[in-house]
């Protein structure tokens, strides 16, 4: 077993691979329990929003209005969607004295804590024992097992699909001043209930080749619908051949509109 110290000789956080062992336990009897849920910035991915809005039994737009701050960024098509903290104490609105009330559907950053994934695929601790007493506990965790126990793989899969949209955007000049493109992109990624209406209550089904099984999956499952939305944006923004237009129907103008 490989063990990791928190920092290296130069004071930088040690980079750990998936086989490294780290000590950590979070529980109600740890002195700093839920302190890490205060005065922080949690950026939500489309999959985070999907899980949270379903956990709270809210429509997408209601969740976004009530629980997020949407920050448009200059020259970037996709805004930053940030979880809104309580105004009075700056705590996460889903945290109670007993812990997280949406624990099974908590966002990716919360699942990863106290780890952070580096760009090279290694991991680092994002805090130390002076702020997180859970790191002083004796519970030993192998990173690979920890990630599975925390339900991270599904989030990583969805975030990878999301990156297939965001990464090309960084390399292309787009007319992001076009409000229709901005609105369609945001709806497709973050407002799945409205996107489902777009697919099933417009001429979409009549224009594109979709088999019956795919249509049924999109009606029933938000995960499949989000994956479909990623493909739709690849088609509409980048012109990738993720959809086949019916012979009798040809999109008029920009397909994203």
Cα radius of gyration rounded to whole Å, the chain: 21
Supply the pLDDT for residue 7: 47
Residue 250 pLDDT class (50, 70, 90 cuts) = low
Supply the pLDDT for residue 252: 53
Q: Is residue 248's pLDDT more than 90?
A: no
Residue 10 pLDDT class (50, 70, 90 cuts) = very low
Phi, psi for residue 128 in degrees, rounded to 5:
-135, 175
Helix (H) or strand (E) holding 168: helix 152-169
**Cα separation, 53 vs 178, whole angstroms:** 28
- Reduced to 3 states (helix: H, G, I; strand: E, B; else coil), residue 83 is strand
Per residue in 215-230, pLDDT tens? 999 998 999 999 999 9
Tokens 């992109």 -> residue: 185
**Contact present, 24 and 126 (Cβ < 8 Å):** no
The count of other CB atoms within 10 Å of the CB of residue 228 is 22
Is the peptide bond between 163 and the residue preceding it cis, with omega within 30 degrees of 0?
no
Per residue in 69-126, pLDDT tens? 999 887 788 999 999 999 999 999 999 989 999 999 999 999 999 999 998 989 999 9
**DSSP result, 182-214:** HHHHHHHHH-HHHHHHHHHSSSHHHHB---HHH
* Stated pTM of the model: 0.88
Compute the mean pLDDT over every residue in the chain, rounded to the nearest whole number: 88
Which candidate, 44, 55, 63, places its Cα nearest to that of 192?
63
Residue 3 pLDDT class (50, 70, 90 cuts) = very low
Helix (H) or strand (E) holding 66: helix 60-67
Higher pLDDT, 250 or 151: 151
Phi, psi for residue 224 in degrees, rounded to 5:
-65, -35
Q: Tell me what percent of the residues of the chain surpass a pLDDT of 90.
A: 76
Helices first, then strands: H and E counts in the chain: 10, 9
**Cα separation, 83 vs 86, whole angstroms:** 10
**Cα separation, 28 vs 96, whole angstroms:** 11
140: tokens are: 């030993």
Supply the pLDDT for residue 12: 54
């Amino acid at each position: 077993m490989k063990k990791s110290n928190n920092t290296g000789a130069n004071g930088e956080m040690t980079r750990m691979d998936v086989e490294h062992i780290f000590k950590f336990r979070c529980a109600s009897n740890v002195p700093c329990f839920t302190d890490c849920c205060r005065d922080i910035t949690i950026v939500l991915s489309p999959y985070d929003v999907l899980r949270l809005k379903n956990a709270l039994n809210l429509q997408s737009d209601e969740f976004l209005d009530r629980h997020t701050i949407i920050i448009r960024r200059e020259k970037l098509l996709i805004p930053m969607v940030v979880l809104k903290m309580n105004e009075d104490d700056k705590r996460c609105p889903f945290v109670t004295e007993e812990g997280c009330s949406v624990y099974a559907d908590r966002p990716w950053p919360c699942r990863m804590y106290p780890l952070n994934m580096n760009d090279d695929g290694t991991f680092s601790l994002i805090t130390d024992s002076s702020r997180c007493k859970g790191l002083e506990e004796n519970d030993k965790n192998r990173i690979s097992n920890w990630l599975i126990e925390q339900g991270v793989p599904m989030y990583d899969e969805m975030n990878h699909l999301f990156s297939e949209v965001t990464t090309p955007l960084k390399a292309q000049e787009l007319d992001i001043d076009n409000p229709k493109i901005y609105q369609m992109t945001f709806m497709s990624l973050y407002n799945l209930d409205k996107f489902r209406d777009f697919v099933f209550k417009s001429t979409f089904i009549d224009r594109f080749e979709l088999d019956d099984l795919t249509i049924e999956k999109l009606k029933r499952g938000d995960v499949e619908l989000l994956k479909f939305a990623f493909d739709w944006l690849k088609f509409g923004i980048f012109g990738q051949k993720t959809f086949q237009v019916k012979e009798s129907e040809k999109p008029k103008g920009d397909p994203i509109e």
